[in-house]
Amino acid sequence: MAVALSIFTVAWGGNEFTPLLVFYRQEGVFSNLFIDLLLVFYAIGVGVGLLAAGPLSDRLGRRTIMLPAPIIAAIGSALIAGGENTALLIAAGRVLSGIAVGMVMTAGGAWIKELASPRFEPGIKKGIGAKRASMSLTAGFALGPAVAGSMAQWLPLPGQMAYILHIILSLVLLPLLLTAPETRQTAHHGLKGSFWADVLVPSALNRRFLLVVAPIAPWVFGAGFTSYAVIPTLMHEMVSAPIAYSALLALVTLGSGFTIQQFGPQIMGNSKTRGPILAMIVAVVGMSGAFLISLHPHPWWALLVGVFLGLTYGLCMFMGLAETQNIATPSDMAGLSGIFYCLAYSGMVFPAILTKLNAWFSYPEMLGFGVFMAILCLGLVSITARKL
């Protein structure tokens, strides 16, 4: 629980920014492209955190890497709060928020996976570690924007209040991490090999990882950010409280993802194919819904589409993480998890790409291409999941 709460808090800070995209657009200080690029800055930070923290935590221990993460997240929130009208500050804050999220995804996810073992919890079932890690992240990703959007819509200091709350939450929960036992015991028996050898993560070349996990991963945040970053843009003029509506859409999306993740182990079972194929079927349905909404915008129907995109997020997150943990060796558990999450976060650039391409293509055309890509990935996973 101590590790899960830390992951939850950092994820809260990483995603509370999302509904405030609408607020920054209303303020008119930054261009729409820069506002969408803030998602890319965040994704860059996540990538740095993932690729560095995973091998480092495999090498030095989980607690060593996890302890600084909530502090870095709090500093990121402070910079964003102070940078409401300053591009450099807000961009730096987003990068730091991303780095912290990357750290907890890899080191924290591996820590939870190792704590969910017979050594610490006798009789525990397979897949519970992936379930707890994915649900901790999703709960933070869901409640962060829901609270932040509501505060920005109806409370004073809309550009600061949510970040102040996150800073307080981070510092209050930080001491709990000291109570969790270290699980990466080899970290205490001397360092073996070089850090750069750890970065290579040999299991990343596993064929099932390349041909089953990799095609699923981008749809985690590709679906999520289509729902709560792209669709609110299409609904902006159709709702009276656009910031709160964006927060509601994020809550519906990630709440659906959180709910389905509770049943992840049962859905996956002992089948090599059921989980990955179902995840991609739901991705096709969700992206098809987004395509239809772009043709005929309607706020209530958009919430229904958000449910399916949230189910896509939740299933792809759980199935991808469970597959990754099954493939990884004990020495590169966090490292391979970091690569999976990097692939997952590649879907975050989708809103910025759509904004940039909107000068040449319409949203229905671009989202229609997204449907085609989802069908292509479904076909690939349907073949490779059976064979590998």
Evaluate whether residue 292 is within a structural domain.
yes
What's the whole-number mean pLDDT along residues 201-217?
90
- Give dist(CA 351, CA 177) in Å, integer: 35
What's the whole-number mean pLDDT along residues 117-130?
80
- Give dist(CA 8, CA 112) in Å, integer: 12
Q: What is the CATH number of the domain that holds 124?
A: 1.20.1250.20
Evaluate whether residue 296 is within a structural domain.
yes
**Domain of residue 94, residue span:** 2-181+199-387
Spatial neighbors of 173 by CB under 8 A, at least 6 apart, are 5, 6, 9, 70
Evaluate whether residue 193 is within a structural domain.
no
Evaluate whether residue 66 is within a structural domain.
yes
Domain total in the chain: 1
Q: What is the pLDDT of residues 333-362, one digit of tens each?
A: 777 888 888 898 887 777 667 777 877 888
pLDDT above 90 (res 190) = no
Q: What is the pLDDT of residues 34-57, one digit of tens each?
A: 887 887 888 889 888 888 887 788
Evaluate whether residue 191 is within a structural domain.
no
Return the higher-pLDDT residue of 359 and 178: 178
What's the whole-number mean pLDDT along residues 189-196?
53
- Give dist(CA 325, CA 134) in Å, integer: 12
Evaluate whether residue 189 is within a structural domain.
no
If pLDDT is split at 50, 70 and 90, which confidence band does 180 have? Answer: confident
Torsion angle of the four alpha carbons 27, 29, 34, 39, in this order, in degrees rounded to the nearest 10: -40
pLDDT value, residue 101: 93
Tell me how long the chain is: 388
Evaluate whether residue 122 is within a structural domain.
yes
Evaluate whether residue 58 is within a structural domain.
yes
Using the 8-state DSSP alphabet, how is residue 189 labeled?
S
List strand residue ranges (DSSP E) for the chain, in order: none
